[in-house]
Amino acid sequence: MSVQGGRVGRRLVVAVPYLWLLLFFLVPFVIVLKISFSEVRLAMPPYAPLLEWTGDRLAAIRINFENYSYLFTDPLYVSAYLYSLKVAAVSTVLCLLIGYPMAYAIARAPGTWRSVLLMLVILPFWTSFLLRVYAWIGLLRNNGLINNALMALGIIDEPITMMQTDFAVYVGIVYAYLPFMILPLYANLEKHDPMLLEAAADLGARPITAFLRITLPLSVPGIVAGSLLVFIPAVGEFVIPSLLGGADQLMIGRVLWDEFFSNRDWPVASAVAIVMLLLLVVPIMLFQRFERRELEERA
């Protein structure tokens, strides 16, 4: 009785998250997928149904691939995808270069300092994300804090244009996603046995060699986790490029928004979303394979 009860309970526990994912991830995904294969129509909803009764027990299924082929004929979409991938990749590398030394320093800090430093990394989350991005406008614009300060110091005569540039987008994304790089890296580096570095030194390795041959390879899981946590959301980032970036280069998140709300072309917008999802599923799957291998290594 109790064994059976335990089994039922275990199934219930597993079933709840599955049900949740089914309802709020798979079903919406199927709906979007369905819309992406239909035709745009001036109606409510603004697309044609895939399945239509043509009377006499006959149904016509109309699957329209044009939305997808359209994405690859209009250079706007391809360039938006490529630009998004580039921005995400560059931001990820910048986050890694800035975040690694920070995570390392926190992991090596004395115990009492560690929690304070970690707290400082997480502290920005207490403020609204939108507000923090707006604050960057105040810093970066022509008569903003940075330009005014530089002019007052006499370093520059004219304000440097930083707003509506790639630079501003990178600043925004790196700033916003840095904690997602630092935290997994810290979690990894903190577990390293300091004895290993002593052993390396004992065997004749200088500190830089010991870092490159011991610390760095052992922190690869942290680097991979942090990079994916930055890269994946950065590809679809909408708010930061919209507020800080220029109008000449659009990221895919912005294109998606425009298709849905300005063009009201739901089928194309859905196709954009599906392609983006496929672009992101590849790195996620790579990540999961990597994680699985890690777990097997440890077992």
Partner 1 sequence: MRPEPLDPWRDPKAEPYVRIEGVTKKFGDFVAVNDVSLEIYRGEIFCLLGGSGSGKTTLLRMLAGFEQPTAGRIVIDGQDMTGIPPYDRPVNMMFQSYALFPHMTVEKNIAFGLEQERLPKGEIAARVAEILEIVKMTPYAKRKPHQLSGGQRQRVALARALVKRPKLLLLDEPLGALDKKLREHTQFELINIQERLGVTFIVVTHDQEEAMTLASRIGVMNHGTIAQVGTPTEIYEFPANRFVADFIGSVNMFEGRLVEDEPDYVRVESPELGATIYVSHGISSPPDARVWVAIRPEKIAISRERPDAQENVARGVVREVAYMGDLSIYLVQIDSGKMVRVTQPNITRHADGRITWDEAVYLSWDPTSPVVLTQ
| Residues near partner 1, by CB under 8 A | 193, 195-196, 198-206, 209, 213-214, 217-218, 297-298
Q: How far is the CB of 225 from partner 1 (least distance, A)?
A: 17
Q: How far is the CB of 172 from partner 1 (least distance, A)?
A: 36
Which residue in this structure is represented by tokens 């406008």? 137
Nearer to partner 1, 74 or 291 (CB): 291
Q: How far is the CB of 217 from partner 1 (least distance, A)?
A: 5
What's the per-residue H, E or C state across 107-167? HHCCHHHHHHHHHHHHHHHHCCHHHHHHHHHHHHCCCCHHHHHHHHCCCCCCCCCCCCCHH
Nearer to partner 1, 191 or 264 (CB): 191
The Cα angle at residue 237 between residues 69 and 106, in degrees rounded to 5: 140
Q: How far is the CB of 191 from partner 1 (least distance, A)?
A: 11
Reduce the DSSP state of residue 53 to 3 states and report it. Answer: strand
Q: Find, among 247, 224, 108, 99, the residue nearest to 168 by Cα.
A: 247
Nearer to partner 1, 62 or 206 (CB): 206
Nearer to partner 1, 92 or 219 (CB): 219
Taking the C-alpha atoms of 272, 166, 249 and 148 in order, what is their torsion angle to the nearest 10 degrees?
A: 120
Nearer to partner 1, 150 or 218 (CB): 218
Q: How far is the CB of 52 from partner 1 (least distance, A)?
A: 60
